[in-house]
Structure 1
Amino acid sequence: MKTFKLYSLCVLEGKEGSIKQRAIPLKDGLIINMENEDRTWHIDAVTDSTHKPYFEKVKEEEGHLLVDAIITSKNNHPATMVTKVITITELSDGISVLLEAKLVLQKDEVIEDVIEDLVAEGLSGEELVSEFKERKNNLAAHSEKTLEEVYASLQQSGQYQLR
């Protein structure tokens, strides 16, 4: 097992054909790579009690959440994971939400989308290389197109009940 600091957590919700981001403000959090054959991760997010009804509803409906988790530092690329709520624990100053997660989108896939976008824009040669370096260095989140494709793919698979 490997444990990391959870820097930020954002729920990605499909609304009206696009992806809306719902930031979950964290008081604290950890993310654990279980390093098992199922490639399971656990996310423990400590947040304000105002989010309890939202997570309770997802758990009650046995639904899944698509999330972007940023690990360790704000400068890291987000890891997109499909999750389910395992437990919600009341704390003296908020709640702890334990999510079981599977990684669905990695940094390399996002970089591939950047290259595809640049080629589609007609860039080539030095202009392509220069613009790729710029976008790669400034890549703070996934492109809307990438997230919409992942969300649609997960919904069509029938394995997940995304909220």
Structure 2
Amino acid sequence: MKTFKLYSLSLLEGKDGNVHQKMVPIEDGLIINMENQKQMWYIEAVISQEYKKYFQDVKTQKGHILVDVVITSKDNHPAAMITSVQSITELTDQKISILLEAKLALKKDDIIEDVLKDLVGRGFSNEALVQAFRNEMETLAAHPTSALNTIYRSIQESGLYKLQ
């Protein structure tokens, strides 16, 4: 088992055929890689009470949420995960703690491949491709929109998850 600090949490919601990110400000949080055969992770985040209804509705409906998390530092690449709400705990000062069970939906290698395909599609080659790739990877703060749209549709079509 490995534990990391949760730096940020975003909800990835499908609207109008595209995926839109909605940042959820976190007070504190952690993410645990269970390192088991099921490749499960647990995300715990302390957030504002205003999100309680959203997460309670997902839990009641036994639904799933596609999220983007950044671990340890804002400079790290995000990880897209498919999650289910395990518990919601009321805290003091208008805060709640949410516990999400998660599986990786999009890995860093998938992001790298998507960036490379995009650059080749835009006509880059040889040394210009290498330089453009370096620039893209240095400034990549989130998943490319095309990758998020693809993974969201794939998850929806799989029938394995009930996305909210």
Same fold (TM over 0.5): yes
Kindly indicate whether residue 118 of structure 2 is the aligned counterpart of residue 117 of structure 1: yes
| Residue identity opposite 1:43 in structure 2 | I
Kindly indicate whether residue 134 of structure 2 is the aligned counterpart of residue 133 of structure 1: yes
Identity %: 56
Q: RMSD over aligned Cα, in angstroms?
A: 0.6
- 1:125: how far off? 1.2
Kindly indicate whether residue 17 of structure 2 is the aligned counterpart of residue 17 of structure 1: yes
Q: Give the match for residue 53 of structure 1.
A: 53
- 1:22: how far off? 1.2
**Number of residues of Structure 1 aligned to a counterpart in Structure 2:** 163
- 1:68: how far off? 0.3
Kindly indicate whether residue 160 of structure 2 is the aligned counterpart of residue 155 of structure 1: no
Q: Deviations over 1:34-56 (max 9, x none)?
A: 11110100000100101100100
Q: Give the match for residue 36 of structure 2.
A: 36
Output the CA distance in 2 between the equivalents of 1:19 and 1:78.
Answer: 15
- 1:65: how far off? 0.2
Output the CA distance in 2 between the equivalents of 1:50 and 1:133.
Answer: 40
Tell me the secondary structure at the aligned position of residue 104 of structure 1: strand
Output the CA distance in 1 between the equivalents of 2:135 and 2:7.
Answer: 24
Contiguous gaps of at least 5 residues in structure 1: none
Tell me the secondary structure at the aligned position of residue 88 of structure 1: strand
TM-score calculated relative to the size of structure 2: 0.98
Q: Give the match for residue 95 of structure 1.
A: 96
Tell me the secondary structure at the aligned position of residue 163 of structure 2: coil
Q: Give the match for residue 80 of structure 1.
A: 80
Contiguous gaps of at least 5 residues in structure 2: none
Output the CA distance in 1 between the equivalents of 2:139 and 2:108.
Answer: 13
Tell me the secondary structure at the aligned position of residue 140 of structure 1: coil
Output the CA distance in 2 between the equivalents of 1:126 and 1:30.
Answer: 40
- 1:122: how far off? 1.0
Output the CA distance in 1 between the equivalents of 2:127 and 2:104.
Answer: 34
- 1:80: how far off? 0.5
TM-score calculated relative to the size of structure 1: 0.99
